[in-house]
């Protein structure tokens, strides 16, 4: 059995070469930082008339394979050039509660009067980051964080949310598979956050 997964309000990277994105590849992984596999590639319609200001895109795929998996989108232009993947989001059947507030994140981002769209986006990155934290510390159902542990989780929630915000608002750029010398982002941007959360981990796996 497959699952229907809806992905809302993904913003493609700005293009300053007048070339619109034409397709979106939906990818799935068991974990946020894991290996992603392609589910399907969909054609964007209508194309952006102004590629410098691409519109938000939403998708529904009926090819999800498991609950609580993570999803991201890669945009592709007519020449086959790809964007970097969007920030992963989790298709969770449980409710994830952020450790930080939108007001706190807005203060860090120096957004004094966020628009409705910015507020929704800030809520999204906070929830995404909180989901990563919950997965990392893996607490048992009857175990709760103490006051200082909650404060540490709040710090990481804000730090990670800022990273997600910057990635979705100012994408790192285009990956041209045919060009030698392309720039690469850090292989594992979560590692430093995982190290900071180590005192909160409820369970440790075995290699």
Pick from 169, 192, 194, 182: nearest CA to 86: 169
Write down the pLDDT at residue 171: 54
Give the integer Cα–Cα distance in Å for 15 and 51.
Answer: 5
pLDDT under 50: residue ranges of the chain: 172, 174-185, 205-207
What confidence score (pLDDT) does residue 170 get? 60
> Hey, what long-range contacts does 30-33 have (CB within 8 A, 24 or more apart)?
30/66, 30/69, 30/70, 31/70, 31/135, 32/70, 32/88, 32/90, 32/131, 32/132, 32/135, 32/190, 33/188, 33/189, 33/190
> Residue 94 has what pLDDT?
61
Q: What is the pLDDT of residue 203?
A: 58
pLDDT on residue 185: 46
Tens of pLDDT, residue by residue over 48-101, are 999 999 999 999 999 999 888 999 999 999 999 999 999 888 887 667 889 999
């Amino acid at each position: 059995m497959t699952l229907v997964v809806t992905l809302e309000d993904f913003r493609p990277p700005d293009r300053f070469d007048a070339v619109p994105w034409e397709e979106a590849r939906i990818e799935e992984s068991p974990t946020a930082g894991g290996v992603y596999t392609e589910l399907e590639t969909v054609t964007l319609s209508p194309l952006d008339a102004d590629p410098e200001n691409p519109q938000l895109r939403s998708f529904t795929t009926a090819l999800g394979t498991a609950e609580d998996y993570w999803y991201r989108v890669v945009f592709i232009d007519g020449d086959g050039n790809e964007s970097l993947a969007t920030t992963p989001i989790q298709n969770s059947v449980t409710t994830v509660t952020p450790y930080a507030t939108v007001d706190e994140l807005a203060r860090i981002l120096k957004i004094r009067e966020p628009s409705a769209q910015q507020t929704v986006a800030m809520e999204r990155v906070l929830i995404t980051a909180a989901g990563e934290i919950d997965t990392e510390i893996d607490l048992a159902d009857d175990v709760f964080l103490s006051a200082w542990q909650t404060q540490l989780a709040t710090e990481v929630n804000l730090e990670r949310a800022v990273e997600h915000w910057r990635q979705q608002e100012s994408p790192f750029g285009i990956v041209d598979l045919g060009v030698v010398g392309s720039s690469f982002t850090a292989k594992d941007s979560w590692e430093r956050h995982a190290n900071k959360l180590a005192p909160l981990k409820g369970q440790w796996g075995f290699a």
